[in-house]
């Protein structure tokens, strides 16, 4: 069985990915400092897959512990989810983000090098495209960022490109996620923001469950179908399957170099379209008000996802309705998340 180090595996996307790779016969070792996740997520995944998971509570800033883990296990690849992701916080605490995300990733890469591990799958983001010159967004578009979080993702991509150039047998697939929402169909794992949600879908579902009073729609005067912001929402289970496809690609290709790949559906949905789909599929009330634009937001963002299809054989399967139903199953069964 191929062992995979999954940093950040207790988090939202990591926990869903564990299910896919375990069911496909890979053996994950999860390494997470639980700074933004709960150990209960791992227990729930164990229940879903019916087996125990090797979990290590550890920080990617702790290079000695990383070395110990690499000495104990022979990894085929690292799937690197660990990172901080709150855009607003990154603006007020840039050093925290560069330290954790950039230095942390360099630590992982250094220890991989010491132990001869050559396959890396990175959680990149559509944020590296900044404000795209046209839509849909192709992987070849130029990159730019407007906040330290995005900048940390971009810097890591540059590091990976250089490492791949310097070491020809090092492979790095940079998966650029669009907007992940939804949850496993069991309703036992899902997104559980530790604070008031920054992102739209967890905000909607917390309003619906009564934890928050009303949604603020940030701007209704964009040049979009109804004036509200358009994004490419993708079901987290589709995203998880994309990681499995990337692992399988690495298992079948000796030399990929730096490979950036969009994981999106290729379709844009506006804020109000998502709110209305949620109301319609769940029967819940979601009161909202129109508020000013949020600083740093762009009007529209959606992927061209052809590269993932051609190279990985991956296409997103789930539609917006399913994303809403699955989000609500998780939120209504777990009104306070994992607590």
How does 28-46 read in b/e, with b if 16+ C-beta sit within 10 Å? bbbbbbeebbbebbbbbbe
Least separation in angstroms between residue 255's CB and ligand NAD is 25
Nearest to 178 by CA among 127, 120, 113: 127
Nearest to 37 by CA among 202, 190, 199: 190
Contact between 15 and 45 under an 8 Å Cβ cutoff? The reply is yes
Footprint on residues 23-42 left by ligand NAD (CB under 6 A): 32-37
Which of ligand NAD, ligand WQD, none does residue 297 bind to, with CB < 5 to 8 Å depending on kind?
ligand WQD
Per CB under 6 A, the list member of 4, 56, 78, 85 interacting with ligand NAD is 85
Q: Rule CB under 6 A: say whether 218 interacts with ligand WQD.
A: yes
Residue with tokens 């250089």: 162
Q: Which is nearer to ligand WQD, 165 or 214 (CB)?
A: 214
Least separation in angstroms between residue 86's CB and ligand NAD is 9
Known catalytic residue at 318: no
Angle at CA of residue 93, ends 36 and 57, nearest 5°: 30
Q: Rule CB under 6 A: say whether 81 interacts with ligand NAD.
A: yes
Question: 230 by DSSP, 3-state: which?
Answer: strand
Q: Which is nearer to ligand NAD, 191 or 215 (CB)?
A: 191
Residue 328 and residue 310: Cα distance in Å, rounded? 33
Residue with tokens 């990733």: 105
Which of ligand WQD, ligand NAD, none does residue 59 bind to, with CB < 5 to 8 Å depending on kind?
ligand NAD
Six-digit token string for 252: 């079948």
Question: Of 149, 177, 222, 302, which is the active-site residue?
Answer: 149
Six-digit token string for 213: 């009073």
Which of ligand WQD, ligand NAD, none does residue 165 bind to, with CB < 5 to 8 Å depending on kind?
none
Residue 161 and residue 144: Cα distance in Å, rounded? 16
Question: 288 by DSSP, 3-state: which?
Answer: strand
Site string for ligand WQD, 13-52 (x = CB under 6 A): ----------------------------------------
The stretch among 10-18, 157-165, 247-255, 278-286 that binds ligand NAD (CB under 6 A) is 10-18
Six-digit token string for 324: 């809403």
Q: Rule CB under 6 A: say whether 203 interacts with ligand WQD.
A: yes
Residue nearest to ligand NAD (CB): 11
Contact between 314 and 308 under an 8 Å Cβ cutoff? The reply is yes
Which residues, listed in sequence order, are joined to residue 172 by a DSSP beta bridge? Answer: 120, 258
Least separation in angstroms between residue 181's CB and ligand NAD is 8
The residue ranges that bind ligand WQD (CB under 6 A) are 85, 87, 125, 127, 150, 179, 198-200, 203, 215-218, 229, 231, 271, 294, 297
Which residues are marked as active site?
149
């Amino acid at each position: 069985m191929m062992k995979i180090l999954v940093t950040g595996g207790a988090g939202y996307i990591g926990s869903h990915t564990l299910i896919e790779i375990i069911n496909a016969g890979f053996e994950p070792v999860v390494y997470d400092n639980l700074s933004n996740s709960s150990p209960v997520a791992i227990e729930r995944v164990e229940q879903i897959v019916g087996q125990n998971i090797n979990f290590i509570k550890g920080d990617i800033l702790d290079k000695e512990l990383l070395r110990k883990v690499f000495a104990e296990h022979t990894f085929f690849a690292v799937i690197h989810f660990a990172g901080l992701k709150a855009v607003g916080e990154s603006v007020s605490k840039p050093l925290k983000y560069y330290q954790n995300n950039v230095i942390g990733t360099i630590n992982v890469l250094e220890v991989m090098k010491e132990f001869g591990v050559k396959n890396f799958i990175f959680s990149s983001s559509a944020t590296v495209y900044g404000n795209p010159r046209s839509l849909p967004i192709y992987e070849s578009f130029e990159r730019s960022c407007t906040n330290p979080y995005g900048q940390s993702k971009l810097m890591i991509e540059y590091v990976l490109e250089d490492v791949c150039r310097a070491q020809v047998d090092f492979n790095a697939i940079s998966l650029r996620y669009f907007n992940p929402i939804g949850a496993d169909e069991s309703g036992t794992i899902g997104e559980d923001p530790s604070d008031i949600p920054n992102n739209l879908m967890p905000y909607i579902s917390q309003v619906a469950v009564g934890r928050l009073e009303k949604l603020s729609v940030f701007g209704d005067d964009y040049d979009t179908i109804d004036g509200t912001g358009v994004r490419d929402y993708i079901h987290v289970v589709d995203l998880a399957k994309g990681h499995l496809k990337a692992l399988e690609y690495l298992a079948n290709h000796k030399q990929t170099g730096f490979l950036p790949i969009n994981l999106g559906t290729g379709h844009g949905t506006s804020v109000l379209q998502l709110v209305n789909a949620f109301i319609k599929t769940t029967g819940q009330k979601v009161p909202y008000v129109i508020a000013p634009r949020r600083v740093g937001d762009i009007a529209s963002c959606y992927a061209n996802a052809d590269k993932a299809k051609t190279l990985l054989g991956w296409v997103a399967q789930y539609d917006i309705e399913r994303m809403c139903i699955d989000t609500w199953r998780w939120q209504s069964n777990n009104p306070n998340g994992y607590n």
